[in-house]
């Protein structure tokens, strides 16, 4: 009967298709084809996002983003984008607090995930960002786990003294001073040529004097130091600091740097290494 009506009315029955194909077709007819992206796997979105991010950022930044995304997604245990709800992230943040994380740490993890979803929307992989309205947690002083502060004079003096002691201790170790003094290994051992350790005191002194970040200070070169003016130029870097600046250096820092240069020449057979800082 159905076949006869089909022939008489010129109607052809639709080809069978699964539920996913029917939903895709219905969305296209309704002008909501991009909604289909909400069914995407979070791992697929993450993989696409990291592939696009890698050539755009430094290796360290890429590693940090990748690690945070892995940690958050593994903690949520959700498979698809449509499963992401604000309350899921709020529950995950509560777990992080129980583990001792600060508000800023939790915000950093959540913001990394939100950045991935914003990228997916811009790339037209998703129609909407399910976490777009998720508000960050407050990050005031009362929510900080470790508050930043300046070192006091007692701590600065202790740091300088310990750095000097460490240099002396390591220099004695490199020179095998105790073994030679004890005479337990013979004349040949005592007369053996030994390497000289590059002192680290000038580097720690420079950190205390300039307040520079590790990356900024360790990228300085000898031409950045002006002994006549008593300044050290810190170069602009990515991501921080973005601007070059000159930091004052007292006579002690300049004198320590000259000692450092002498040690570098001795260690490298008369050549002076280009960088000021050396580990």
Whether 27 is in a domain gets the answer: no
82 and 163 co-located in one domain: no
212 has a pLDDT exceeding 70: yes
Domain boundary (121, 143, 165) is at 143
**Could you list the residue range(s) of the whole structural domain that residue 98 is in?**
33-143
Q: What is the mean pLDDT of the chain?
A: 76
Residues 53-77: tens digit of each pLDDT: 999 998 989 999 999 999 999 988 8
When pLDDT is cut at 50, 70 and 90, the band that residue 267 belongs to is very low
Rounded Cα distance, 219 and 275, in Å: 7
Whether 148 is in a domain gets the answer: no
When pLDDT is cut at 50, 70 and 90, the band that residue 258 belongs to is low
Whether 278 is in a domain gets the answer: no
- pLDDT mean over 241-269: 59
167 has a pLDDT exceeding 50: yes
31 has a pLDDT exceeding 60: no
Domain boundary (87, 114, 143) is at 143
Nearest Cα to Cα of residue 225 among 201, 197, 198, 203: 203
Residues 174-202: tens digit of each pLDDT: 888 878 777 777 778 777 787 777 788 88
224-238 burial: b if 16+ Cβ within 10 Å, else e? bbeeeeebbebeeee
Compare 137 and 70 and report the one with higher pLDDT. 70
Do residues 81 and 37 make contact, with C-beta atoms less than 8 angstroms apart?
yes
133 and 61 co-located in one domain: yes
């Amino acid at each position: 009967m159905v076949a006869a009506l089909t022939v008489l009315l010129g109607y052809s029955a639709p080809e069978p298709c699964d539920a996913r194909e029917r939903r895709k077709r219905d969305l296209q007819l309704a002008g909501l084809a991009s909604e289909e992206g909400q069914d995407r796997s979070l791992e697929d979105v993450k993989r696409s996002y990291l592939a696009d991010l890698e050539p755009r950022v430094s290796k360290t930044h890429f590693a940090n983003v990748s690690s945070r995304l892995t940690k958050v997604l593994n903690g949520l245990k959700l498979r698809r984008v449509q499963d992401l709800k604000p309350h899921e992230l709020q529950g995950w943040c509560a777990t992080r607090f129980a583990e001792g994380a600060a508000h800023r740490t939790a915000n950093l993890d959540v913001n990394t995930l939100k950045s991935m979803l914003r990228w997916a929307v811009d790339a037209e992989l998703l129609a909407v960002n399910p976490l777009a309205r998720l508000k960050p947690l407050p990050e005031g002083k009362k929510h900080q786990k470790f508050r930043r502060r300046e070192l006091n004079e007692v701590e600065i003096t202790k740091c300088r003294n310990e750095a000097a002691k460490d240099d002396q201790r390591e220099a004695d170790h490199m020179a095998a001073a105790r073994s030679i003094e004890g005479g337990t290994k013979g004349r040949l051992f005592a007369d053996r040529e030994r390497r000289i350790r590059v002192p680290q005191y000038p580097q720690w002194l420079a950190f205390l004097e300039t307040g520079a970040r590790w990356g900024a200070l360790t990228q300085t070169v000898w031409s950045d130091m002006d002994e006549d003016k008593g300044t050290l130029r810190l170069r602009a870097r990515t991501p921080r600091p973005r601007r070059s600046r000159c930091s004052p250096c007292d006579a002690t820092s300049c004198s320590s740097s000259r000692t450092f240069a002498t040690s570098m020449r001795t260690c490298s057979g008369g050549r002076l290494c280009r960088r000021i800082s050396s580990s």
